Amino acid sequence: MLTDGASPPPAATEPVPVALGDALGWYSPGPRRRGVLLCGTYGFEQWCAYRSWRELAAMTAAAGCPTLRFDYPGQGDSRDPADGEIPASLEAIRAGIAFLRERAGAQEVVVVGLRLGGTLAALAAAGEGVDRLVLLSPFTTGKAYRREMAMQSRLIDVMPDRTPMPQEPDSLMVGSFLLGPRTLADLGRIDLMAEARAPAPRILLLGPKVEALAERYRALGSAVETGPFPDLTQLVSDPLFSRTPDQTFAVVRDFAVAEAPPAADPAPAAALPPCRLEDEAWSEEVSRFGAGLVGILCRPKGEWGGDTVLVVNSGRNPRAGHGRQTARLARRLAAAGIASFRFDLRGIGDSPGRPDGSLPLYAADSVGDVTAAIDHLEALRHPPGVVLGNCSGAYQAFQALSLDPRLRAAVLINLYCFDLKPGTDVETMVRDTFRHSQGYMARAREGRFWRRILTGEIGLAKIARALLRDGAARLDRWTTRMPWRTLRGGSVVGRVASLRRRGARICMVYSADDLGIPTVRAHFGASDARIARRLGYPVTILDGTDHNLSRPADQDRVFAILERVVRETGPGSRPKAATEPAAQRPARNPGGLSLRLSRG
């Protein structure tokens, strides 16, 4: 439910969280008597589309239609289903239809489904009396979805050396999201062409290769309109730089709201039940704070008198994390008696956009959002002591630790840089750096690299610009520890020394060969002992992992490190002075992790 704190109540136009069984949803009320249910797709594709899907909900709500969107059970912030994901997803769609009728007073219901969500929407809508159905590039069969995801996985899920990531038996990982054996089996039985009932009297089908399905629905008595979906790729293929397909979404909105029943006489709105998801070990509540930011506090079922772990978004991943890692981590921490708070920076997930519309990655002012989260947690009497971030989230976590004495420790995973020069083109930096774990010089030894140059797939000008940027970065790292830089009060070494004097500590974790490892050596030298003494913890390198720590075994290792830091830096622990050597005993090396930085 919306926590109290000192936060103002949300405006009437803002969506409010609701529970649909195991699913967490967002409901926007409206005066019209036609409700709109948005059924997103699964896993990686929905992660890419999350922000845009929220915008589509705002578009239909702005037209006066009550609108509901949600995470399927086992996805996003929803609870894991007791049964399989596919049956639970179908049940969640039916629950959403019932919600719009019972709670929003909708006389008519429109269901909109994206990709696999369209497939599931078509199955769930049959027999539910849905008035209109929009299917955006649906899969006619579950086997077609499995084939496409298998191809996606080979492109997305790779190790640092560009080899395919090992897959678990009878499962499929796609962009760090796992489709388990039960889900794959259930998908194999889906075939829309074999359905005997039309899912709705009026249907809009947008996307390639939809004519066969359109003809099937016409044969079953539906009035079907078809059209293209030219901007599908830009919506579901890139979590960092996904763009909203404005023209296509305008078509969807117009179809969804056309001829909607007018608003009836105002009636007192039915009170919504509190939105709380919980199980035997944890309880979660959604809260708004600061300038409309959205977060979820995950508490242990028992009393917790220690600190709360504050988790900062990585990239543009919504608060549940890449591959849903953060949601799982939060619930695992709660089972261990540790509270956590995951939230969306401005421009990510369900928080408002940034004033200039820019990306929040490495934005200097985003640290203000972290500060707002700290203030909010203190108002809720859950003061944060440890801040956790991966990649760009680690950057913001370091800035927050440096500026806010209320934080006592930071766990920084795959931190690329401590500071960013003003005027840096962040989008170009991310595209050229983080998308390729191998630089151009290393890739020059590959024959296919030269073939791509000869065919014009890679331009020489692009290579030259990248090499110049890489050379400038190397020069910057090489001069980092020069006296004229280290003696400045604002240098990284100086700031770390200052926060260490107040008793704060930094635990840095890297996947093997991560591009940020040279940054640590540049600032603190190559001596493991000296680095550990300066930071408060040795740097931990995880062998055999990818940048996103996609596999469950990698996440287990991070959990062990984080839990140790929370226990050792809690309110009752004794702060370690900057001069105290950091011992490298086996007990401080969970999982047999390598602590040697020099080989990176």
- What does the pLDDT look like over 376-403, one tens digit per residue? 999 999 999 999 999 999 999 999 999 9
Using the predicted structure, report yes or no on whether residue 582 has a pLDDT greater than 50.
no
The span from the CA of 502 to the CA of 217, in Å, is: 68
- Pair 80, 121 in one domain: yes
Which pLDDT does position 428 carry in this prediction?
76
pLDDT digits 0-9 by tens, 432-476: 665 444 444 444 444 554 455 555 555 566 556 655 555 555 555
What is the predicted pLDDT for the residue at 446? 47
- Nearest-5° Cα angle at 465, 392 to 472: 65
- Do 497 and 585 lie in one domain? The reply is yes
**Which stretch of DSSP H or E encloses residue 552?**
helix 552-568
Q: What pLDDT was estimated at residue 460?
A: 60
Shared-domain flag, residues 93 and 231: yes
Mapped onto helix, strand or coil, the DSSP state of residue 294 is: strand
pLDDT value, residue 165: 86
Enumerate long-range contacts of 12-19, CB under 8 Å, 24 or more apart: 13/61, 14/288, 14/292, 15/57, 15/61, 15/67, 15/69, 15/350, 16/272, 16/275, 17/275, 17/286, 18/68, 18/99, 18/103, 18/272, 18/275, 19/273, 19/275, 19/276, 19/277
Structural domain includes residue 271: no
Higher pLDDT, 264 or 417: 417
Count of positions (residues) in the chain: 600
- Residue 577 CA from chain centroid, whole number: 36
Is pLDDT at 8 greater than 80 in this prediction?
no
Cβ-count burial 38-74 (b if 16+ within 10 Å, e if not): bbbbbbbbbbbbbbbbbebbbbbbebbbbbbbbbbbb
pLDDT at position 472, please? 53
Choose the weakest-confidence range: 239-253, 410-424, 485-499: 485-499
Are residue 346 and residue 469 in the same domain, yes or no? no
Mean pLDDT for the chain? 85
Backbone angles phi, psi at 394, to 5 degrees: -65, -35
Report residue 593 CA to chain centroid gap: 27
**pLDDT, average across residues 476-500:** 67
Query: Amino acid letter at 199?
Result: P
Question: Considering the domain boundaries, does residue 324 fall inside one?
Answer: yes
Residue 464 CA to residue 386 CA, distance in Å, equals 41
Report how far residue 561's alpha carbon sits from residue 564's, in angstroms, rounded to the nearest whole number. Answer: 5
Residue 499: CB partners within 8 Å, gap ≥ 6? 401, 402, 506
CA distance linking residue 503 with residue 520, whole number of Å: 20
Tokens of 465: 């610009």
Q: In terms of residue numbers, what domain contains 468?
A: 440-478
Cα distance from N-terminal residue to C-terminal residue, the chain: 46
Residue among 254, 256, 148, 251 at smallest CA distance from 206: 251
| Same domain, yes or no: 398 and 535 | yes
331-369 pLDDT, tens digit per residue, is 999 999 999 999 999 999 999 999 988 888 899 899 999
Which H or E element spans position 508? strand 505-511
Residue 508: count of CB within 10 angstroms of its CB? 26
Question: Which pLDDT band, with edges at 50, 70 and 90, does 262 fall under?
Answer: confident
The string of DSSP codes covering 301-343 is SS---S-EEEEPPPTT--TT-GGGHHHHHHHHHHHTT-EEEEE
Report whether 138 contacts 210 (CB < 8 A): yes
| 373 vs 580, residue with greater confidence | 373
The structure tokens 């629905």 sit at 217
Closest by CA to 165, choosing from 153, 183, 179, is 153
Q: Judge whether 384 and 323 are in contact, CB under 8 Å.
A: no
* Pairing between β-strand 308-311 and β-strand 339-343 as defined by DSSP bridges: parallel
Return the axis-axis angle of helices 528-535 and 492-501, rounded to nearest 10°. 60
Q: At residue 282, what is the residue type?
A: W
What lies within 8 Å, CB to CB, of 307 at 6+ separation is 339, 383, 384, 385, 386, 408, 566, 569, 570, 571
427 and 447 within one domain: no
Other CB atoms within 10 A of residue 480 CB: 18
Statement: residue 119 has pLDDT above 80: yes
Average pLDDT over residues 411-432: 84
Residue 80: pLDDT band with limits 50, 70, 90: very high
pLDDT per position as a tens digit, 34-57: 999 999 999 999 999 999 999 999
Q: What is the pLDDT of residues 11-38, one digit of tens each?
A: 446 899 999 999 999 999 999 999 999 9
pLDDT of residue 270: 62
Q: Do 91 and 239 belong to one domain?
A: yes
Residue 563 CA to residue 336 CA, distance in Å, equals 8
The bridge status of strand 277-278 relative to strand 132-136 is: unpaired
Which stretch of 46-50, 167-171, 288-292, 532-536 has the lowest confidence by average pLDDT? 167-171
Report phi then psi at 308, rounded to 5.
-110, 135
- Which residue, of 257, 290, 313, is where some domain finishes? 257
Q: Say whether both 494 and 469 belong to one domain.
A: no
- In a domain, residue 264? The reply is no
Same domain, 209 and 95: yes
550, part of any domain: yes
The answer on 363 and 287 residing in a single domain is yes
Residues 6+ apart with CB under 8 A from 452: 458
What mean pLDDT comes out for the span 479-496?
64
User: How would residue 304 be classed by pLDDT, with cut points 50, 70 and 90?
Assistant: confident
Do 298 and 336 fall into the same domain?
A: yes
Split at pLDDT 50, 70, 90, the class of 584 is very low
229 located within any domain: yes
Over range 186-209, report the average pLDDT: 97
Interhelix angle 528-535/517-524, nearest 10 degrees: 90
pLDDT on residue 476: 53
Domain count across the chain: 3
Position 537 in a domain: yes
Both tokens assigned to 386: 């440890």
| Average pLDDT score over residue span 118-130 | 97
Q: What is the pLDDT of residue 168?
A: 86
* 158 within a domain of the structure (yes/no): no
Residue 561 predicted with pLDDT over 70: yes
d(CA 400, CA 406): 10
Give yes or no: residues 305 and 251 share one domain.
no
CA distance 314 to 413: 10
Which string of DSSP letters, residue by residue, matches 214-261? HHHHHHTT-EEEEE--TTHHHHHS-TTT----HHHHHHHHHHHHTTPP
269 lies in some domain = no
What is the rounded average pLDDT of the residues 233-244? 92
Per-residue pLDDT, 441 = 43
Is 12 strand, coil or helix?
A: coil
Cβ count near 242 (within 10 Å): 20
Average pLDDT over residues 417-429: 82
Give the contacts of 32 (CB within 8 A, at least 6 positions apart).
63, 64, 65, 66, 257, 260, 261, 262, 263
- Among 81, 91, 79, 88, residue whose Cα is nearest residue 278: 79
Asked if 540 and 595 touch (Cβ cutoff 8 Å), the reply is yes
- CATH number for the domain that contains residue 241: 3.40.50.1820
**Who has greater pLDDT, 58 or 441?**
58
